[in-house]
């Protein structure tokens, strides 16, 4: 019985964190003026986030344990790809406009594409 209760609690905490993360994504989407259709969280081996062609965003559940600034970086990075598909000059200047510190975090991100 105690094991079962423990598990349920963990599950609740996780879903709470996931909801917070998703609402953070929505807030950023509003700031960046992009429209998100679906936001998913699941564990991924090789990357922090991905964006499918139909606008579906998936974030790595490991982000739930990372610091806020790094999450913001991954979120803004992925949302900006809805505007700019590459990592060119425009992409970099938009990153700088929204997250002046982004280069500090970029090294930790395994570049998606």
Q: How far is the CB of 98 from Zn ion (least distance, A)?
A: 14
Taking the alpha carbons of 34, 40, 46, 48 in that order, is the dihedral positive or negative?
A: positive
> Token digits for 38?
């679906």
Q: Closest residue to Zn ion, Cβ-based?
A: 112
Nearer to Zn ion, 17 or 112 (CB): 112
Q: Do the Cβ atoms of 82 and 112 come closer than 8 Å? A: no
Does residue 112 touch Zn ion according to CB under 5 A? yes
Q: How far is the CB of 87 from Zn ion (least distance, A)?
A: 6
Nearer to Zn ion, 45 or 113 (CB): 113
| Residue 111 DSSP SS3 | coil
Count interface residues toward Zn ion (CB under 5 A).
1
Contacts of Zn ion in 70-99 (CB under 5 A): none
Report strand pairing: 49-51 vs 38-42: unpaired
Does residue 17 touch Zn ion according to CB under 5 A? no
Q: Do the Cβ atoms of 39 and 57 come closer than 8 Å? A: yes
Q: How far is the CB of 19 from Zn ion (least distance, A)?
A: 25
Q: How far is the CB of 26 from Zn ion (least distance, A)?
A: 20
Summarize as ranges the residues that interact with Zn ion (CB under 5 A). Answer: 112
């Amino acid at each position: 019985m105690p094991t079962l209760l423990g598990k349920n609690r963990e599950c609740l905490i996780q879903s709470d964190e996931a909801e917070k993360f998703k609402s953070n994504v929505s807030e950023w989407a509003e700031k960046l003026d992009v429209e998100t259709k679906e936001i998913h969280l699941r564990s991924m081996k090789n990357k922090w986030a991905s964006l499918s062609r139909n606008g579906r965003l998936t974030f790595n559940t490991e982000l739930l344990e990372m610091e806020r600034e790094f999450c913001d970086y991954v979120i803004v990075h992925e949302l900006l790809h809805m505007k700019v598909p590459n990592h060119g000059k425009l992409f970099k200047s938009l990153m700088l406009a929204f997250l002046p510190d982004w280069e500090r975090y970029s090294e930790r991100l395994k570049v998606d594409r």
